[in-house]
Amino acid sequence: MAKILINDGIHPAGRQKLIDAGHDVHDTKIAQEDLMTQLQSFDAICVRSATKVREDLISACPNLKIVGRGGVGLDNIDVEFAKSKDIKVINTPAASSRSVAELAFAHMLSLSRFLYKSNRHMPRDGDSEFKALKKSFSKGVELGGKTLGLIGIGRIGQETAKIALSMGMNVVVVDPFVENATLSMEVAGHPIKHDIKTVPMDTMLSEADFISLHIPFTGSPVLSTSEFSKMKDGVMIVNASRGGTIDELALLEAINSGKVSAAGLDVFENEPSPRKEILAHPNISLTPHIGASTGEAQEKIGLELADQIIELLG
């Protein structure tokens, strides 16, 4: 029996699976400043993004064998240091892919038909300005036939590409680590495979009507002033990956100039305190980093994390 701390929450199905496997599961959150002393008796800790597992914490906890991250990113964990101490670091990269992809498309649909603007204006002015609002929001576009540029063709990028193809969009992909990708999907019970060959960044920027990012943050933005200058006029951009992958000041300049007609953002450079200029901008659709926050994704994350922990603990 291992002693496991679930510090940032887990779906009840995952918690129960760990208990059924005979483990001692604790899910009362321990404050970050108290972990140094209270984590020492635990064999494993499961976190999301709130709890930080840094070198000092790892060094203070000699019994620790597993650090589990419920989600994709590992930037709140000092992974290499943990591995140097023979601690297994695990995450759940596949569990939330569909949820994030669907949110990216929710933003695209919102942008293309002005839903984000309409939902701001209709409650306030719908009874008095109905005809004016109808005229203002009647210049939307269909996604079918448009080109979606994807930055990243990992699990989430692939799910986003599948939705795009099912909606009749063309898909062009940039990924320096992938030359070809094969998408496997099912439509009305019929299996379909679609091959995608990646293209250079400049090619994608010149062709895309919509651009969606599905990459980790690697220390600097992948879209900044230079990249915006190479895009089509009126392009729409969605970011449901990580804050910092887009230079937000350059994005604001591109929107204000009309180069980018609108953007949908689920992630921000300064989370949890995004720039006021971003939050208040009339041409930006906003969500508070909820890409993986569906019931289905949380259950998958909990079960996948539990399965990995049970296997590693034997």
Catalytic residues: 242, 271, 289
Structural contact between residues 288 and 1, judged by C-beta atoms closer than 8 angstroms: no
Which residue in the block uniquely carries the two structure tokens 């498309």? 105
Give which of 134, 137, 159 is closest to 148, Cα–Cα. 159
Two tokens, residue 290: 């909820």
Assess contact for 103 and 297: CB atoms under 8 A: no
Q: Which parts of 113-245 fold into alpha helices (H)?
A: 115-125, 130-136, 155-166, 201-207, 225-229
Exposure letters 43-68 (e unless 16+ CB within 10 A, then b): bbbbbbeebebeeebbeebeebbbbb
Task: Measure the CA–CA gap between 80 and 93, rounded to whole angstroms.
Answer: 18
Q: For 69, phi and psi rounded to 5 degrees? A: -110, 115
Partners of 64 in beta bridges = none
Which value, in Å, is the radius of gyration of the alpha carbons in the chain?
22
Q: Record the tokens describing residue 109, joined without a space.
A: 């649909």
Beta-carbon neighbour count of residue 95 at 10 Å? Answer: 24
Find, among 211, 226, 221, 203, the residue nearest to 261 by Cα: 211
